[in-house]
Structure 1
Amino acid sequence: MITLKTGQTITPEQLAEVFKASAINRPTEDLQRLETMLQHSNLLVTAWDKDRLVGVARSLTDFSYCCYLSDLAVDRDYQAQGIGRKLIEKTKEEIGERSALILRASEEAMAYYPKLGFDHVDNCFVIPRSF
């Protein structure tokens, strides 16, 4: 049985492991950077199979107007079980109805998010990171 937790502290090593297991492209070898990512997130929803971290939804939000879902990752062994959907639903519950939930999808996930109620928008701009 999968348990969702909000605000559960995780280590950079745990985050790296779930990123690797999910095949999401993140800097998994840079634990300091992952630590900083965790420290500066203000909404973390995690999925657990007993004591094993199997999913993460990491967001930055003001809990009033908008929420940027920066990372949605589910271990490949646990995908196609609705865990990603549950992580998003819990994130939406935490931010409330007045906040927009925004994310940037990888090419591989472009067909996934509309199934969860996300609208595709073209009015987005990005200044890419240098590395």
Structure 2
Amino acid sequence: MAVEWRDSIEGVDWGALSEMYRRAPLGDKSADWLRTAFSNSMFRCFACEDGRVIASGRAVADGVDCAYLCDIAVDPDHQGRGLGRAIIERLVERSRGHRKIILYAVPGREPFYEKFGFRRMRTAMAIFENPQQAAQNGYIDEA
């Protein structure tokens, strides 16, 4: 089956997308949370098959200075087909013209993103809603 690429959020089954993120596994993101996040993002990318989203990602951007790629996920049943690579390429291309394109990766996946030109930042810092969980998952150092 051919993959159909979409940028629009129209017709997205947010409940199914929520389940895909859980299975990917990229955490529990409710349908309402995903609808809000994707609606408020400048760039969005969905790979669909038979009308169902099988991979997605988004970029929060201000149009000139910074674009932040996030929530890039591929349904486990469709991994290994190059969909993650294609989403990154599409979002990076749409983000061109920004002074910097930022992405934070699941720990251990950094080598995948280096292939696209991403490099480790020395000054990145974050405030997480649940710092203990973020430290446990390897995103930040213990306080």
TM-score, length-scaled by structure 1: 0.83
Matched residue pairs, number? 129
CA RMSD of aligned residues (A): 2.0
- 1:85 maps to what in 2? 85
The residue type paired with residue 9 of structure 2 is: Q
- 2:9 maps to what in 1? 8
Rounded to whole Å, the distance in 1 between the matches of 2:82 and 2:91 is 14
The residue type paired with residue 63 of structure 2 is: F
Contact 2:9 2:39 in 1 (8 A): no
SS at match of 1:111: helix
Contact 1:18 1:56 in 2 (8 A): no
Higher relative contact order (CA 8 A, sep 6+): 1
**Which protein is bigger by CA-based radius of gyration?**
2
TM-score, length-scaled by structure 2: 0.77
Could you list the structure 1 runs, at least 4 aligned residues long, displaced by more than 4 angstroms after superposition: none
Rounded to whole Å, the distance in 2 between the matches of 1:39 and 1:8 is 7
In structure 1, stretches of 5+ residues that fail to align are none
The residue type paired with residue 6 of structure 1 is: D
- 1:105 maps to what in 2? 105
- 2:135 maps to what in 1? none
In structure 2, stretches of 5+ residues that fail to align are 132-143
The answer to whether residue 95 in structure 2 is matched with residue 95 in structure 1 is yes
- 1:52 maps to what in 2? 52
Contact 1:18 1:75 in 2 (8 A): yes
Deviation per CA, 1:16-69: give whole Å up to 9, x if none.
0221232112x33x3332332233222211111231211111221123222111
Deviation per CA, 1:62-108: give whole Å up to 9, x if none.
23222111210001111121111111111122222444221111114
The answer to whether residue 35 in structure 2 is matched with residue 41 in structure 1 is no
The change in CA–CA distance for 1:13 and 1:99 in structure 2 (over 3 A counts) is farther
